[in-house]
Amino acid sequence: MAARKSKVALGFASASGASDAPGFIPASDASGLAAVPTASDLAAVPTASGTPASTLASLRQPIYNPAFECASRDEVRARQFELLIEQVAWAYERVPFYREQFDAIGLRPADIRTHDDVRKIPFTTKSALRDTYPYGLIAVPLNEIIRLHASSGTTGKPIVVGYTRDDIEQWRYCIMSVAQMAGVVPGDRAQMAFGYGMFTGGFGLHYGMEGLGVMMIPASAGNTERHIMMIEDYGTTVLIATPSYALHICEVGERLGYDWEKSQLRVGLFGGEPCSPKLKAEIESRMHIFCTDNYGLTEVMGPGVSGECLSARDQQHIVEDHFYWEVIDPETLEPVPDGCPGELVLTPLQKKGIPLLRYRTRDLTSVTTEPCGCGRTSARMDKVRRRSDDMLIIRGTNVYPSQIEDVLAGIAGASAYYRLEVDNATGLDRLTLNLEVEPAVFTDSFTEMDIFRRSVADKLRAVLQVSVVVRLVEPGSIERVMGKTKHVEDRRE
Ligand code: DLL
């Protein structure tokens, strides 16, 4: 039975009347869905994994911009197309990189007349941003850029993006939309555990949440014990973090004897890295919160591209008035049918500072346009668990870290913490898994540990078709990070 928290109701009445944010659907709305929940309804949502979808779906969520988020698919596609046409012209007229690309293939913005024509536009890849570092793709005079963010590339120069005043406003809108998908409502108290810096997570989410009328607690990354104190003292209801850092906060709290069930935390607004079902289940059952995922990337904006609603768990609604999405086969570059897996390609529709066209995210997902129980009609993408560029080729076999996570999820006693090492010191590729075991199964008995180790290795081999050297490590020994967890170290020469 899922655990229920009994939490103090937040200081606002019902979502239907308490906010002047556009788009709260009145409870009397006759669309056949249940009434908009009050704060105490939301507080009573069972939070542990395994919550029946019907329970969640019965709660009507406030929707930030129902005129668009609940429009018919035809209306959505038509509006997207209008915006796309403007964006193509903007990029062509303002950015030499795009003008040259179009001219080289004899393409004019006016040639894009239908959704199918969009495929004529060349893709943009990360190298376009790298090659024009730092300002080469900026489409406005530099004095109209009021903010810079950057993503820390593992090698070389970072990717730098600039935002106009209007881009920042649009970003706020996107965050407000995804926050409401996650059941965040005005009057919530949200604690930021992303750093405030060049990374888009901190500032991006901060301003959007403030725009929604949420009390922002800008704790920033790090100082985990202080986070726990603030959650308790300030009555934090929403935690914003990477899921791996959230689990770390949870563990530190447990070590300090903190009773998470008594906290007022209700929602985890997590993102920035893949969240495996196991990680999500751990956090939900141990922190007694409702984990939601939101997705985004620096190049196209930052967080705010898509967010998880309370109905379609493990899928995220794309903010479609801001992002034109396509899913392509990363090998053939042809579109895949609706609902089939492929690489997500995004075109920001309103961002004027850097108007990227058909940006190849490298993130693998699938997108469906089936109606959702939350009332939104916007397309939903599956959780991103893999990137086309994080595939490891081990002795000719393709291996994704997410496959390993899925195997570990089915092994009682295997924790969510692991690290993969790849080397070829002996001439052949060798994949080593350092796996932290749960305290409950960690013992001094060599024999017992070895039996467990071998069973993990056998299960991995059966699924991956490559042998994996498994090393069991003590609970707590794999480094905890405050930002994104790096699971793989590839030391091959
Ligand atoms: O991580 C933006 C962000 C910040 C999103 C905070 C959500 C919350 P980058 O640092 O540029 O931007 O990294 C983008 O991270 O292409 C994905 O591979 C991965 N990623 C981001 N969010 C998710 C997610 C931010 N929810 C890259 N699930 C993306 C899986 C994610 N992967």
Render pLDDT for 88-99 as a digit per residue (tens, 0 to 9). Answer: 999 999 999 999
Average pLDDT over residues 340-344: 97
**Centroid of ligand 1 to alpha carbon of 384 (angstroms):** 9
Could you identify the atom of ligand 1 that is nearest to the CA of residue 302?
2
**Centroid of ligand 1 to alpha carbon of 243 (angstroms):** 11
Average pLDDT over residues 30-55: 45
Could you identify the atom of ligand 1 that is nearest to the CA of residue 387?
18
At 154 the pLDDT is 58
**In terms of C-beta density within 10 A (0-12 exposed, 13-18 middle, 19 or more buried), how is residue 467 classed?**
middle
* Ligand 1: lining residues by beta carbon, under 6 Å: 151, 200-201, 271-274, 293-298, 302-303, 361, 363, 384, 387
Residue with CA closest to ligand 1 atom 1? 272
Distance CA 377, CA 405 (A): 31
The whole-model pTM stands at: 0.88
Is residue 402 helix, strand or coil? helix
**Centroid of ligand 1 to alpha carbon of 440 (angstroms):** 33
**Centroid of ligand 1 to alpha carbon of 299 (angstroms):** 10
Distance CA 196, CA 370 (A): 37
CB 204 within 8 A of CB 230: no
Quick one: what percent of the chain has pLDDT higher than 90? 80
Could you identify the atom of ligand 1 that is nearest to the CA of residue 270?
8
Could you identify the atom of ligand 1 that is nearest to the CA of residue 152?
10
Average pLDDT over residues 163-190: 96
At 7 the pLDDT is 45
**Centroid of ligand 1 to alpha carbon of 300 (angstroms):** 11
At 493 the pLDDT is 86
Residue 194 scores a pLDDT above 60: yes
**Centroid of ligand 1 to alpha carbon of 298 (angstroms):** 8
**Centroid of ligand 1 to alpha carbon of 311 (angstroms):** 22
Residue 51 scores a pLDDT above 90: no
At 390 the pLDDT is 85
Residue 50 scores a pLDDT above 80: no
At 12 the pLDDT is 25
> Model confidence at 2, in pLDDT bands (50, 70, 90)?
very low
At 58 the pLDDT is 45
pLDDT tens digits for range 273-288: 999 999 999 999 999 9
**Which residue among 295, 319, 346 is best mutated to probe the pocket of ligand 1, counting the most ligand atoms within 8 A of its Cβ?**
295
Please state which of the ranges 104-108, 246-250, 363-367, 442-446 shows the lowest mean pLDDT: 442-446
At 16 the pLDDT is 32
Average pLDDT over residues 163-183: 97
**Which residue among 238, 297, 356 is best mutated to probe the pocket of ligand 1, counting the most ligand atoms within 8 A of its Cβ?**
297
pLDDT tens digits for range 201-255: 999 999 999 999 999 999 999 999 999 999 999 999 999 999 999 999 999 999 9
At 491 the pLDDT is 93
Distance CA 252, CA 104 (A): 57
**Centroid of ligand 1 to alpha carbon of 296 (angstroms):** 5
At 378 the pLDDT is 97
Residue with CA closest to ligand 1 atom 4? 201
Residue with CA closest to ligand 1 atom 28? 274
At 426 the pLDDT is 87
**Centroid of ligand 1 to alpha carbon of 484 (angstroms):** 9
